[in-house]
């Protein structure tokens, strides 16, 4: 390991000068600075992040907190895209990312403690059980935090516009002539509540009556529960002409049931997905679905978090609403 001391020795200056030169301080002569920079390069010098973190109390490291219940967290295309763009933006801004968990080795700790232990400059929170006290502790701490798709007091949140999306979907389906629209929603979360309320409101405004039996609960990203919900909807006296699914994967579960019953999409029944995963656009017929701007969400989360870290004085908790767009495929029939 070549250190600043080594460079100092070679250049005939003090380590302090090397540090300043490498960090671009103004009180070093142009010539000296240049000389130091080139020899640093020649000697293959690399800063030691641990030493720097120790001294400056800044790690240039962001924590990512998400919990993988159903062990499909990372596999969830929406979230993994968010994470990926978060990572890309964070790296562009000079930050690395580390996963935050409870209990590291034999050391029991909660999320807050883990974040402190790793000197995380900030943490992004997504896809967790927001009622977990350990999450609350982190959110209420002095660590900069940005949450995704969930709003906390005095914290910046990046949220996909779940209200507008449902409005867009309902309007489109309405324009296509449908009046019996069923909605299979995901498990009870803030996101689900918003979507459901927006769905109801949009329908009401269009003068569409939504009987309770047309609202069905399922689980996100779980083809089986949607398949079941689909079966229930199909067995109704008052059968819907269009079914909205909680996400594209859930639609695929529902599709199995539709096929089993010999129903063709969209001729016999119309469907709409949510998320706009790659796969949905490769299917034939192409799925009509709402594409969230997951890339934008991750990018903005990183940008906001870094901004809060680097300009704490000017920090104001913000809610950033990121809008997506309806991808119109061929799964909603004009009636």
Q: Does 23 bind DNA (CB under 7 A)?
A: yes
Count the Cβ atoms, other than its own, within 10 Å of residue 296: 17
Q: Does 243 bind a second copy (CB under 8 A)?
A: no
Q: Does 262 bind a second copy (CB under 8 A)?
A: no
Concatenated DSSP letters of 157-184: EEEE-HHHHHHHHHHHHHHTT---EEEE
* Burial tier of 55 (Cβ tally within 10 Å: 0-12, 13-18, 19+): exposed
Secondary structure letter of residue 262 according to DSSP = T
What minimum distance in Å lies between the beta carbon of 53 and a second copy? 4
- Helices marked H in the chain — which ranges? 4-11, 15-22, 30-43, 49-56, 77-92, 111-117, 133-139, 162-175, 190-206, 223-234, 248-260, 294-310
Site residues (CB under 8 A) for a second copy, limited to 62-91? 68, 71-75, 77, 80-81, 83-84, 87, 91
Cα–Cα distance for residue pair 80/333, rounded to 1 Å: 32
Position among 9, 43, 46, 74 found at the interface with DNA (CB under 7 A): 46
Q: Does 59 bind DNA (CB under 7 A)?
A: no
Q: Which stretch binds DNA (CB under 7 A): 13-21, 145-153, 177-185, 296-304?
A: 13-21
Q: Does 5 bind DNA (CB under 7 A)?
A: yes
Which CB, 51 or 335, lies closer to DNA?
A: 51
What minimum distance in Å lies between the beta carbon of 103 and a second copy? 7
**Nearest Cα to 89, choosing from 138, 135, 124, 126?**
124
- Binding partner of residue 80 among DNA, a second copy, none, CB cut-off 5 to 8 Å per kind: a second copy
- Count of residues of this chain found to bind a second copy when the rule CB under 8 A is applied: 61
Which CB, 16 or 46, lies closer to a second copy?
A: 46
Please give the span between the terminal C-alpha atoms of the chain, in angstroms, as a whole number: 72
Backbone angles phi, psi at 183, to 5 degrees: -130, 120
Cα–Cα distance for residue pair 27/240, rounded to 1 Å: 74
Site residues (CB under 8 A) for a second copy, limited to 100-129? 101, 103-107, 109, 113, 116-119
What minimum distance in Å lies between the beta carbon of 106 and DNA? 14
Which long-range contacts (C-beta less than 8 Å, at least 24 apart) are formed by 190-193? 190/130, 190/149, 190/150, 190/151, 191/149, 191/150, 191/160, 191/162, 192/246
Site residues (CB under 8 A) for a second copy, limited to 121-180? none
- Binding partner of residue 228 among DNA, a second copy, none, CB cut-off 5 to 8 Å per kind: none
Residues that bind a second copy (CB under 8 A): 1, 46-51, 53-54, 59-61, 68, 71-75, 77, 80-81, 83-84, 87, 91-99, 101, 103-107, 109, 113, 116-119, 222-224, 227, 249, 252-253, 256-257, 259-260, 278-279, 282-284
- Chain residues in the site for DNA (CB under 7 A): 1, 3-5, 12-20, 22-23, 27-33, 45-48, 51-52, 54-56
């Amino acid at each position: 390991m070549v250190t600043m001391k080594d460079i100092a020795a070679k250049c005939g200056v003090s380590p302090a000068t090397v540090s300043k030169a490498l960090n671009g301080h103004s009180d070093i002569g142009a010539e000296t600075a240049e000389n130091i920079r080139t020899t640093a390069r020649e000697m293959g010098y690399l800063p030691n992040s641990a030493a720097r973190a120790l001294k400056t109390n800044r790690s240039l490291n962001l924590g990512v907190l998400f919990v993988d219940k159903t062990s499909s967290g990372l596999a969830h295309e929406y979230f993994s895209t968010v994470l990926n763009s978060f990572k890309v933006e964070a790296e562009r801004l000079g930050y690395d990312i580390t996963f935050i968990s409870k209990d590291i080795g034999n050391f029991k700790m909660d999320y807050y403690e883990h974040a402190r232990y790793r000197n995380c400059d900030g943490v992004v929170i997504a896809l967790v059980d927001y009622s977990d006290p350990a999450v609350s502790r982190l959110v209420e701490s002095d660590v900069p935090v940005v949450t995704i798709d969930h709003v906390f007091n005095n914290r910046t949140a990046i949220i996909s516009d779940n209200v507008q999306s449902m409005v867009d979907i309902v309007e489109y389906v309405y324009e296509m002539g449908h009046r019996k629209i069923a909605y299979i929603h995901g498990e009870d979360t803030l996101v689900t509540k918003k979507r459901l309320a927006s769905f109801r409101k949009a329908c009401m405004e269009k003068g569409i009556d939504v009987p309770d039996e047309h609202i069905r609960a399922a689980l996100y990203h779980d083809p089986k529960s949607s398949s079941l919900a689909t079966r229930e909807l199909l067995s109704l006296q008052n059968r819907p002409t269009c079914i909205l699914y909680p996400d594209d994967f859930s639609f695929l579960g529902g599709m199995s049931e539709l096929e089993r019953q010999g129903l063709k999409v969209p001729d016999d029944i119309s469907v709409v997905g949510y998320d706009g995963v790659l796969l949905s656009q490769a299917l034939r017929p192409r799925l009509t679905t709402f594409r969230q701007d997951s890339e934008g969400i991750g990018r903005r989360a990183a940008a906001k978090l870094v901004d809060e870290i680097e300009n704490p004085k000017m920090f104001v908790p913000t809610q950033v609403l990121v809008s997506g767009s309806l991808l119109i495929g061929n799964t909603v029939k004009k009636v």
